[in-house]
């Protein structure tokens, strides 16, 4: 590792230098590939090449080192709680709402909640009237095979 003026390179400079070296290796590899294409041989990976890859030699990009910074792309979301209900997975989705599974935090009873998106509802002709009609019907119907409106 070379430094100018006796000072160490900053981590950013190290990253830039590693990227330059990787691009140089990639360019060399690309030239080799073109040479093989001109020969026209159907060349597979030789045992030596496989061993060099396993040893980490001749890679297009340098391997990450233990101290390298890697940003976590995916993170597991924790459960959300709202109005005494613990929200779970999405069960379904319609044109103006989605349905999620919830658990009542006090009784631990599983239920479903319909979450209405008012922005979508406004775009649907008679959307508000449809929701009001659905609520009136659900309030009247009392049958074991039909969902029951709780609140």
CA dihedral in degrees (116, 118, 119, 123; nearest 10)? 100
The CA–CA distances, whole Å, from 71 to 57, 68, 74, 120 equal: 25, 10, 9, 35
114 is in an annotated binding site: yes
CB atoms inside a 10 Å sphere around CB 96: 20
d(CA 116, CA 114): 6
Annotated binding site, which residues?
Answer: 114
Specify binding-site residues for ATP: 114
């Amino acid at each position: 590792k070379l430094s100018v003026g006796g000072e160490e390179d900053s981590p950013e400079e190290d990253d830039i230098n590693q990227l330059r070296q990787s691009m140089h290796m990639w360019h060399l590899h690309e030239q080799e590939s073109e040479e093989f294409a001109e020969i026209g041989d159907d060349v597979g990976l030789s045992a030596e090449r496989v061993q060099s890859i396993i040893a980490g030699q001749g890679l297009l990009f340098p391997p990450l080192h233990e101290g390298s910074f890697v940003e976590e792309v995916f993170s597991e979301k924790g459960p959300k709680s709202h109005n005494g209900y613990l929200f779970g997975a999405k069960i379904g989705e319609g044109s103006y709402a989605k349905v999620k599974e919830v658990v009542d935090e006090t009784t631990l009873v599983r239920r479903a909640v319909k979450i209405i998106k008012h922005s979508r509802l406004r775009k649907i002709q008679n959307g508000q009237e449809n929701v009001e009609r659905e609520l009136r019907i659900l309030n009247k119907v009392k049958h074991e095979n039909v969902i029951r409106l709780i609140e």
